[in-house]
Amino acid sequence: MAPAILTSQPGTRPSECAPAGWLRSKMPWIGTVPSGEKTKCRMTVPVRAVAVDHVLPPPLNMKTPMQRPGPSVQERFWDEVLKRRDITDDGHGMEMAESLTQHAWSPGPGHQSLTRLWDGIRVEATRLAASEAVLSPSIHASILSHASFSSCLAHLLAAKLASSTLLAPQLAQLISQIYESHPEALEAASADLQATVERDPAVKAEGQALLYGKGWQAVQAHRAAHVLWLAGRRSLALALQSRASVA
């Protein structure tokens, strides 16, 4: 194969020319040019030229989100929270305005009310209990024996979080009181449940996520612990958080 003949592109300036020897040592794939002398502009290639099949990777973009200087979105959020909160002498005070109510979920198109959601869960549980005899006692104890979604969720979480030192009946009563005094936590649980069904392809119905969704159950335990934390019951909140991580 005859050596490639290098020609300059139209408009090439003399300052863009390079010695032939340098071109051969740095870019041997460009072609063959006589070495030992400066090339003339009519026989040179602009220094900026790079072979198509040897394109170098572009330099890092220093303006990408991970590299951009300044606080992150999360840091800016907590900066605003700290500006609005009232801190007591012991550093444990926080206004209830920063609780779930301020950042509450609002229902969107297609989202069901608590009553409609609970009715659908009971219908699904009844069908499942009839088709799976082995699961029937568990489904009756977890869903069908309760009159409301709050009672069902309180006893379900209590059974998951209970231990030899944290008794299930006491936890069920505690979580029921949380949902009674903070209905926004129950609304958030409903939103989480419906979002799980919408976004997780492995979950086909609300009852499935309610009974077997460990991630969803952990979020509800965290919400209950968050209410206790804001109420100043820090030790109990930490106990629930610890149990949620191993349940």
Residue 60 — left, alpha, or beta (φ > 0 → left; ψ -120 to 50 → alpha)?
A: beta
Class of domain 113-246: mainly alpha
Rg (CA), the chain: 33
Handedness of CA 192, 198, 202, 207 (dihedral sign): positive
pLDDT in tens, 52-63: 555 566 665 554
Q: How far apart are CA 146 and CA 44, in angstroms?
A: 86
pLDDT in tens, 122-181: 999 999 999 999 999 999 999 999 999 999 999 999 999 999 889 999 999 999 999 999
**Whether the Cβ atoms of residue 218 and residue 151 lie closer than 8 Å to each other:** no
- The structure tokens 């030229």 sit at 49
Portions of the chain given CATH number 1.10.3130.10: 113-246
**Whether the Cβ atoms of residue 121 and residue 190 lie closer than 8 Å to each other:** no
pLDDT in tens, 114-132: 889 999 999 999 999 999 9
Q: Which H/E stretch holds residue 207?
A: helix 206-212
